[in-house]
Chain A
Amino acid sequence: MAFGKTKFGLQKTREGVFSKITRLVSGRKKVDENLLDELEEIFISGDVGVDTTLYLLDKIRIRIRKEKFNNSEELNAIIKDEVSRLMIAPREKEVEAKPYVILVVGVNGTGKTTSIAKLAYHYKNQGKQVLLAAADTFRAAAIEQLSIWGERIGCPVIKHQPLSDPGAVVFDALTAARARQADYLIIDTAGRLHTKVNLMTELNKIRKVIESRMEGAPHEVVLVLDAGNGQNAISQAKEFVKAAEVDSIFLTKLDGTARGGVVLSVKRELGIPVKYIGLGEQKEDMELFDPKEFVEGLFPEP
């Protein structure tokens, strides 16, 4: 789990979107509307979103009007600088707590269960004791899915019967985590579309159960977003923030061609950092997200 891997992991994003930028500006001494139009296309095709794209273009337009640039490197630097302003670093240090409780939420099919396995493996590798809670009692075989991962990684899984009350699972899991002196408790929840009022209320209830059972918990609420989702990811994030006070984002499926340009919009709209990225189906296919490196990587030195 080295930070250095991000460079490799995000190659797709870089090749797909941002190498285009470098190519676009190379050799330019003047900026015209044509160039800005092409920049717009690059950003939007990378799922950056119309609002954020227009915002970026405005900033860039102002900068190039004010600051004279002599060559394409300087122009590149301006764009790079504006993009990096849209990044946000994840919290450096986690709260000290035992068990450190992580609640994982998201819409259906974003990859919550797989991401939980990756997180568990990550901590397990650091010699920590990890406990999993199968609070997705709704989807058929979700409990089995988490149990299989638990076996593979060697983490006990606290579970109830399908369709039982997720709050009860969480309650038991917290008790068990304390009794077993686990370092981490990671809670899986059922996927829910952010527009379903009742399901979002249920999520809020789960959060309250955790709060009432352990002060300061959950220590981290992780929202799992599919990098392939477009602007809808923003609207998902907004609703999950309301219901469960999201702390960080796990951006999954970045190993495809999806660009995950939403990363740029998420900070501007919500101020929540991307902390983890998922890059495959295996338990080790996860990386910590480093915004600085991300931007550096986006603009390879010509």
Chain B
Amino acid sequence: MLEDLTQRLESTFRKLRGYGKLSEKNIEDSMREIRRALLEADVNYTVVKDFVATVQEKALGQEVLQSVTPGQMVVKIVHDELVRLLGSSAMQIRTAGIPPTIVMLAGLQGSGKTTFAAKLANFLRKRGQKPMLVAADVYRPAAIEQLKVLGRSLNIPVYDEGLSDPVKIAFNAVSVARQQFCDTIILDTAGRLHIDQAMMDELVKIKNRIRPHEILFVADGMTGQDAVNTAKEFVQRLNFDGVVLTKMDGDARGGAALSIRAVTGKPIKFMGIGEKLDEVEQFYPDRMASRILGMGDVVTLVEKAQATIDEEKAKKLEQKLRKAEFDLEDFRDQLQQIKKMGSLESLLKMIPGVSRQLKGVTVDDGQLIRVEAIINSMTTEERHNPKILNGSRRKRIASGSGTRVQDVNQLMNQFQQMRKMMKQMKGKSFKGMGMPFGLA
């Protein structure tokens, strides 16, 4: 996500940092580049205009021009302005004093409300809550069925009344949730255009009837200049509390994030980052700003690692590393832990500087799967003692894992290299080696 914007800004900044002293012309040139980068990222025209004007004004101030590292100062100004624009702190969803908390979702068709409803339910359950999904999209064919299927796969209750009145469904759902001791209701509504007055009225009716504690506006992360008009209309009619950006795992440049936040003043609370139901992230403005500017997002990476990596296993691994006993079984464990954290590409992008180097490279998660398949096709003995892998064994493993002998050979070479490295490190400090490979 955001690569193009990030790259453009990075190259502008590189130039800026290169100057010993900044002239007004340098700054103006870089402002033009920043303006263009933002416009190409689909940030709204007016928002860009204001943003660039603010940054330029600050950058032309005395402290920058006289500073020892003027380029760095400008980067800092841009970063601070981005954070200001994105909102300064992460926002949680509100909860009710007396349960159930009612969360209502609204947005255009195809923005991803139903999928997000399921993701949010899953997210809340992981935090120990007991959510219930409510199917109030009675217009799109099979929308109710979709929510039911998702609910079933997560084992989260879904309340529906078939194709009846959405206002009534929403109202009844509240008492059903109480009976079932669910503490949070997530209300999926039908997608609608903001200019469709009848449909917008319906949302207002639902809102007035059930008084949700939190209304989230779900928007497609790939939205163009029109994001502003849509968001304005929804905020005027519904006065929503927060924004959810979906489909942020593509190469959307996320301009919508900046635009929506700027025109509504409402915080972005979540991002959808994949097709799987656990691929949702809370939105942290400062981390996002760092990501946009190519500074990486190590905080999220570490948090992800902490959430998925098994402490016990990590300790055992460290022991093994100390003794250089690391074998293919341990290697497989590591792979599995990495996989749990998300796609390789998304992880790499959180490392500062990596997104620039990844330009045009697609990281193939299939590689990980193939490696795992190869190891799975080995016997336990082979995994513990890879030295016994002769030609015929390798041939068997290749055909067992659906790969080629070359792939097996390549993996074995890499593994030997890794072991060698470890031997060399033996006796040195292993601090931080509990992290999976390449991430330590």
A residues engaging B (CB < 8 A)?
Answer: 41, 44-47, 49-51, 107-111, 138-142, 144-145, 147-149, 162, 193-195, 197-198, 226, 228-233, 235-236, 253, 255-259, 261-262, 281
Size of chain B's interface in residues, with CB distance under 8 A? 50
Q: What is the CA–CA distance of A194 and B252 in the complex, to the nearest angstrom?
A: 10
Cα-based distance from A258 to B362 in the complex (angstroms): 31
Binds A, one of B37-45, B164-172, B380-388, B396-404: B37-45
Q: Tell me if A193 and B229 are in contact (CB < 8 A).
A: no
Chain A: minimal CB distance from B6 (Å): 15
A166 to chain B, nearest CB (A): 15
- B143 within 8 Å of A (CB atoms): yes
Total A-B pairs in contact (CB under 8 Å)?
143
Question: Could you write out 24 A-B pairs with CB less than 8 Å apart?
Answer: A47-B42, A50-B40, A51-B40, A108-B112, A109-B109, A140-B146, A140-B147, A140-B150, A141-B146, A142-B142, A145-B145, A197-B366, A226-B222, A228-B223, A230-B222, A230-B223, A231-B41, A232-B224, A233-B222, A253-B108, A256-B108, A256-B226, A257-B195, A258-B224
A262 to B256, CA, bound (A): 16
Contact A228 B141 (CB under 8 A): no
In-complex Cβ contact of A230 among B141, B193, B255 (8 A): B255
Q: Which residue of B36, B247, B364 contacts A197 across the interface (Cβ within 8 Å)?
A: B364
Instruction: State whether A139 and B255 are in contact (beta carbons under 8 Å apart), knowing that A50-B36, A194-B250, A259-B226 are contacts in the complex.
Output: no
Residues on B with C-beta less than 8 A from A109 are 109-112, 220, 246-247
Q: Interface SS of chain A: helix, strand, loop or mixed?
A: loop
Inter-chain CA distance A174–B109, complex, in Å, is 31
A193–B220 touching, CB < 8 Å:
no
For B146, list chain A residues within 8 Å (CB).
Answer: 139-142, 144-145
Contact yes or no, B226 A257, CB < 8 A = yes
A148 to B142, CA, bound (A): 8
Say yes or no: A195-B111 contact (C-beta < 8 A), given A228-B226, A230-B255, A257-B194: no
| Residue in A49, A162, A226 with the greatest tally of chain B CB atoms within 10 Å | A226
Q: Cβ of A142: which chain B residues have Cβ within 8 Å of it?
A: 142, 146
Interface of B is mostly: loop
- Contacting residues, chain A, for B111 (C-beta < 8 A): 109
Residues of B at the A interface (CB closer than 8 Å) are 36, 39-42, 44-45, 108-112, 139-143, 145-150, 153, 193-195, 220, 222-227, 229-230, 246-247, 249-253, 255-256, 275, 362, 364-366
Q: A140-B147, A262-B224 are in contact. List 15 more A-B contacts (CB 8 A).
A: A41-B45, A109-B112, A142-B146, A144-B145, A193-B250, A226-B110, A228-B220, A228-B230, A230-B255, A231-B253, A232-B252, A232-B253, A236-B222, A253-B108, A257-B226
Q: Which residues of A contact B194 (CB under 8 A)?
A: 256-257
CA distance A41 to B145 in the complex (A): 44
By a CB distance below 8 angstroms, the chain B residues around A140 are 145-147, 149-150, 153
- Kindly provide the distance from the CB of B404 to the nearest chain A CB, expressed in whole angstroms: 18
A231 to B224, CA, bound (A): 7
Question: Which A residues touch B220, using CB under 8 A?
Answer: 109, 226, 228-229
For A195, the chain B residues whose CB sits under 8 A away are 249-251, 362
Residues of B within 8 A of A139 (CB): 146
Q: Chain A residues near B225 (CB, 8 Å)?
A: 44-47, 230, 259, 261
